[in-house]
Structure 1
Amino acid sequence: MDAGRQGEGAGMDTGAGAEIGFGAVAAAHPGRIALVEPDGTTLSYGELDARAGRLAHALAGLGLRPGDCVAAMLPNSRAFFELRLATGRSGLYFTPFSHHFTTAEVTHVVTDSEARVVVVDASLVEVAGPALDAAGIPAERRLVWGTRPPPPGWTDYEALLTTLPTTTPLPHPRAGGVMLYTSGTTGRPKAVRRALSDAPPGPSPYELDFMARVGVRAGAYTQLCAAPLYHAAPGLFANMAMQLGHTVVIAERPRTEEWLELIDRHRVDVLFAVPTVLHRALRLPAEVRGRYDVSSLSAVVHGAAPCPPEVKRRAIDWLGPVLYEFYAATEGGVSAADSADWLARPGTVGLPLASTEVRILDGDGRPVAAGETGGVYFRPAVPFAYHKDAQKTERSMRDGYFTAGDEGYVDEDGWLYLRDRRTDLIISGGVNVYPAEVEAVLIAHPDVADVAVVGLPDPEWGQRVAAVVQPEPGIRGDDAFADRLAAHCRGALAGFKVPRVIEFRERVPRSEAGKVLRREIRLDAAAGPTPGA
């Protein structure tokens, strides 16, 4: 089934009369607050523009030229924005990566990306230092942010900016690019690399269309950036906030109630969050949620992981029709849906984005009929390749269409629905069981805080359905609770989908992007069926 872009141009109002592009915003509104740091320090657009210009000169002074790479190991901070803006006006690649990486992981990313400059938070120099030694990064090109004076063998990030011009070092500013590493569920992660153009800095028509489709407009709005900025979606929203003239409130790993407090205190308009954040907020007692005014929210955007239908319905009931959902991968965006779209077609992840085509293919690469499940493939709006891995690029594509390994279908009107990742599919007795469907039922139980469903080897059925459950505080993970959960599932699922094994854990392992780390879930394959299942 092929699905082209539907409703071209819908929702393209990005804010009447508002400036588009960081440079235009800084020139028109130099005094507007651009960033609010976690400690309350603010930075105006004019100040941020000047610092990004000085940083661009510093990078050029270190010998970097268009096409070179700058890597960064930072928590959510002002430095992330400065680096993205400086590289984005200098024709450089910017590669932020997790500040939770080990020395071996840092070594791989810095070496593989061929980064010529690496910026590291002061708290991480002991982890990063040996990696930069191994990668051959000299002291003058390993910058430490967040402490003064710098440790021995490092260069002070702030000191580089003190005497340099605020203009762009290139005669004609040139757009850079972000080169991110995929999560790497098997083997080492690979970088998604797109060719740089000679275009000037600023958002592309594709990025503007995507923002419009998820309810984000240009103007004097406030956006909360609390998800890890080195991930694709949070980083995109943070950068587009600067391009659209927003004030960004930076937060680093806030607790659930702190999200609400920040929204209330700063009158936040725009928020990106993974579904886990919404679920945890909804599980707060009503009197706790009632302490905070969240009526300022005009766009609550979620992605990165499936959102259980019950969670989404309750979130819309609570926040209003301000929820927007998108389906994307580091390799490119695919589709988007607003609250009205979803309520009319529960479960949809939307219509294809501008310049994006979707195909649903069977195992032999042939298109399937509308409503039939197959592999979800899409033609990226911006072509990419995996850095230094032509074979991986080729394996992920069919005739120019990429797949992230997800299964789904397209209805007669072109709306896309996801079932699950192909690698997560459970085949029990020859019948397909999609973990996301079972998880959506289990997470709706009031005593379940989090859940992951996997398949276990079974000599008779091939695989049997198993669930790892994180109980809500105060709920005992015992046989009686397992019986209640099995009965709950039987009321909503066919018998073959009901978990035969339920294991209770203190937490369900998830990535910082909110994705279940199924590879970390290890159940006893010899465990018998759960009582009552």
Structure 2
Amino acid sequence: MMPITRDLIVRGARQHGPRTAVVFGDQSMTFTEVDELSSRLAHALIALGVGRGSRVALLVNNSLASVPTDFACVKAGINRVPLNSRLSLDEHSRMLEDTDSAYIVFGPDLADRASDLAERFPDRTFIGLETPSGGMDSLLDQARTMPATIPDVEVEAEDVILTLFTSGTTGTLKAAQHTQSSYAGICRNVLLNLVPVTPDDTMLHAASLIHASGVFVLPFWLRGGKTVILPGFDPSTFMTSITEHRATTINLVPTMIQMLVERPDFTTADISSLKAVIYGASPMPLATIERAMDAWGQHRFLQYYGQTEAPLCIAVLRPEDHTPERLLSCGQPAIDVEIRLLDSKGNEVPQGEPGEIVIRSTSAISGYFNAPELNAETFTDDGWVHTRDIGEFDAEGFLFLKDRASDMIISGGYNVYPREVEDALLTHPSVREVAVVGTADAKWVEAVTAVVVLKEGIAEDDALQAELVAHVGERLASYKKPRRVVFAESVPKTAVGKLNRKALRDSLNDA
């Protein structure tokens, strides 16, 4: 039996107690302090009636309390459901409905959103992490009187401890479930394939810890490394923070790297401490990675290919493989991951031919919450996961992504599915027809682009373009808004009358 996530948290605390574990601004906590606070928080949640297996939505941004709160949920056997603060009220509401989360813990900067949700869900319990709410002390205040020892809660390897929403490649909002066992598998995956962390290492986090950045916390914790958390990504602050904290590891999406390379100090900043620049989440423009390597050195860069269903890395492009002929590859299979490429009949394809990427790994999720049909389509009884991505192996085992099995757009590292943007635009009184695709963009990799057919008698102008973008922003997360709106007399269709997104995307990219 392999150790589970709770075991790894306990080990890290015991082995590295007095060392600095977490830094946020001018505040810091040792391993012992994080461990004790997480235990107190776990007891506080239990005292509120949150039992093993309960789903608790976390509406929080990065803070000093981020790691203790996550660890508290693991220790208490609680299934945490992160709510991306960038999403809309309607999207948050749907997440609460879909998971039937009875408890919502919110940060002080998201109190207004919590209040709006409380109006929609008067039967749910809203708990302020750092501030009082509804006549109740903050969770941190309640934790002060609780024991600093780990709660006596029986947990099993297959207990779900994280339900993470992803739109993936199907456009359906899916709740991916990680267990005590699979999340420990992610820790092993990171240590084996990306970063052999030592106590002298420091990782700088600018992205939200609910995204890929957060999976690095446990590996650094287990090996005694330091986690430095920023409130968000600001290129100027990020560059100075690398130097100030002597960061050895950073994890960025391509859009972030693009923003950094455009800074005048990119080539002059002191990055002598930096050993690993890890990137992934969306395709990297060749011009961007070449420019970054020219300035910072090829030896620092690692690319990973992974999915929420199987984090962090399915394949890795190591520094020595960042060569011209391999930069379009996503690397070779991770040490602890099996990969098969299958044709439409489920047979393995010969080397050099494309097929659907199907993987098996200890880091894979246990399935989607309350989605039996989708689970049957995605997971096999013997542990294989259908990614719906199409790939091809070369003779040396490097994996090249050929296409997506759907039309998902990856813009700035975020997944955007065209249908939901189209649905939002179609509620505007001026819109008769619309098609949304991703088009090549130097900054965002893919820009959400809407081709709009207006109703008869409606005049197209710049004001209407801005109005349509704002219309989507009122209904969906900001990153899902179109960055381009193109007016047209019609949109291309297939022979059976369906939107021909490929033809549309090709024509826009060629324009």
Q: Tell me, yes or no, whether TM beats 0.5.
A: yes
**Distance of 2:484 and 2:169 partners within structure 1:** 13
Relative distance call for 1:137 and 1:272 in structure 2 (3 A) is farther
Tell me the equivalent position of 2:461: none
**Distance of 2:81 and 2:31 partners within structure 1:** 23
The secondary structure found in structure 1 opposite 2:331 is strand
Listed one character per residue, the Cα deviations across residues 144-188 of structure 1 (whole Å, up to 9, x for unaligned) are 1333xx244554122211111100111667676221111367665
Q: Which residues in structure 2 correspond to 1:282-297 (within 5 Å)? A: 282-285=261-264, 288-297=265-274
The secondary structure found in structure 2 opposite 1:408 is strand
Amino acid at match of 1:246: G
Amino acid at match of 1:419: K
Listed one character per residue, the Cα deviations across residues 219-276 of structure 1 (whole Å, up to 9, x for unaligned) are 2311111111122x11211333323322111112232122111101110011111111
Tell me the equivalent position of 2:24: 37
**Distance of 1:31 and 1:236 partners within structure 2:** 23
Q: Report % sequence identity.
A: 26
Tell me the equivalent position of 1:432: none
Tell me the equivalent position of 1:114: 100
1:146 to 118, 123, 130: 130
Residues 301 and 319, structure 2, Cα contact 8 Å, conserved in 1 = yes
Tell me the equivalent position of 2:319: 339
Amino acid at match of 2:139: Y
Q: Which residues in structure 2 correspond to 1:190-205 (within 5 Å)? A: 190-196=174-180, 204=184
Amino acid at match of 2:174: K
**Structure 1, unaligned stretches of length 5 or more?**
1-19, 427-434, 444-448, 458-504
2:302 to 314, 320, 324: 324
Residues 469 and 482, structure 2, Cα contact 8 Å, conserved in 1 = no
Listed one character per residue, the Cα deviations across residues 263-296 of structure 1 (whole Å, up to 9, x for unaligned) are 01110011111111111211222xx224520111
The secondary structure found in structure 2 opposite 1:165 is coil
2:277 to 292, 296, 300: 300
**Structure 2, unaligned stretches of length 5 or more?**
1-6, 410-436, 452-467, 492-506
Relative distance call for 1:403 and 1:369 in structure 2 (3 A) is same
1:167 aligns with 2:149: yes
**Distance of 2:280 and 2:509 partners within structure 1:** 36
Residues 57 and 169, structure 1, Cα contact 8 Å, conserved in 2 = yes
Residues 102 and 127, structure 1, Cα contact 8 Å, conserved in 2 = no
Residues 331 and 380, structure 1, Cα contact 8 Å, conserved in 2 = no
Tell me the equivalent position of 2:235: 256
Tell me the equivalent position of 1:524: 487
Listed one character per residue, the Cα deviations across residues 473-498 of structure 1 (whole Å, up to 9, x for unaligned) are xxxxxxxxxxxxxxxxxxxxxxxxxx
Tell me the equivalent position of 2:76: 90
1:452 to 446, 456, 464: 446
The secondary structure found in structure 2 opposite 1:78 is coil
The secondary structure found in structure 2 opposite 1:101 is coil
Relative distance call for 1:41 and 1:195 in structure 2 (3 A) is closer
Amino acid at match of 1:103: L
Amino acid at match of 2:24: E
The secondary structure found in structure 2 opposite 1:179 is strand
Amino acid at match of 1:27: R
2:209 to 226, 229, 238: 229
Q: Which moved more, 1:339-348 or 1:294-303?
A: 339-348
Relative distance call for 1:298 and 1:61 in structure 2 (3 A) is same
Listed one character per residue, the Cα deviations across residues 85-144 of structure 1 (whole Å, up to 9, x for unaligned) are 111222221221211233322222223223243210123223223424544555xx4211
Amino acid at match of 1:95: V
Q: What value does the CA root-mean-square deviation take over the aligned residues?
A: 3.7
The secondary structure found in structure 1 opposite 2:243 is helix
1:403 aligns with 2:386: yes
Residues 192 and 335, structure 2, Cα contact 8 Å, conserved in 1 = no
Relative distance call for 1:520 and 1:331 in structure 2 (3 A) is farther
**Distance of 1:401 and 1:303 partners within structure 2:** 22
Amino acid at match of 1:452: E
Amino acid at match of 2:176: V
**Distance of 1:372 and 1:519 partners within structure 2:** 35
Amino acid at match of 1:276: T
Relative distance call for 1:289 and 1:67 in structure 2 (3 A) is same
The secondary structure found in structure 2 opposite 1:263 is helix
**Distance of 2:136 and 2:83 partners within structure 1:** 19
Relative distance call for 1:393 and 1:127 in structure 2 (3 A) is same
Tell me the equivalent position of 1:415: 398
Tell me the equivalent position of 2:431: none
The secondary structure found in structure 1 opposite 2:486 is coil
2:289 to 308, 312, 315: 312
Q: Which moved more, 1:298-307 or 1:352-361?
A: 352-361
Residues 354 and 390, structure 2, Cα contact 8 Å, conserved in 1 = yes
**Distance of 1:133 and 1:456 partners within structure 2:** 33
Q: Which residues in structure 2 correspond to 1:47-62 (within 5 Å)? A: 47-62=33-48
How far did 1:52 drift?
0.6
* TM-score for the superposition, normalised by structure 1: 0.72
Q: Which residues in structure 2 correspond to 1:174-185 (within 5 Å)? A: 177-183=161-167
